[in-house]
Amino acid sequence: MEENTKLLESLLEKASDYGKTSFELVKLKTIDKTADVVSTMVPHSVVLVFIASFMLFLNLGLALWLGDILGKTFYGFFVVAAFYILAGLVIHFFLHDPIKKLVADYFIKRVLK
């Protein structure tokens, strides 16, 4: 009877250790995946900031140039704004789902890597 008790205690102790080890493994894998995704996103964010700055100044220059050609400065800004609203509508109605799928696939690939 004592042997069964010792065997049961040993089994419970090993099961407890296994559970703790499994939890630690899951925790470490989660940290690894999170660090991988974040470390990938930081350089992309920096590049995005530079591209956004470039686009801002390009659009300001284009709007001022078009305004000069059209005779009034604000006309250039209206033309640039009309271009962006048109581009936004095209993207929303025709490219929304492909872009959504592309982004989702990218994140899933990064997490499952």
Residue range 58-82, pLDDT digits in tens = 999 999 999 999 999 999 999 999 9
3-state secondary structure of 1: coil
Domain boundaries along the sequence of the chain: 2-112
Say how far apart CA 93 and CA 96 lie, in whole Å: 6
Residues 12-66: tens digit of each pLDDT = 888 888 989 999 999 998 888 888 888 888 898 999 999 999 999 999 999 999 9
Q: CA 79 to CA 85: how far, in whole Å?
A: 10
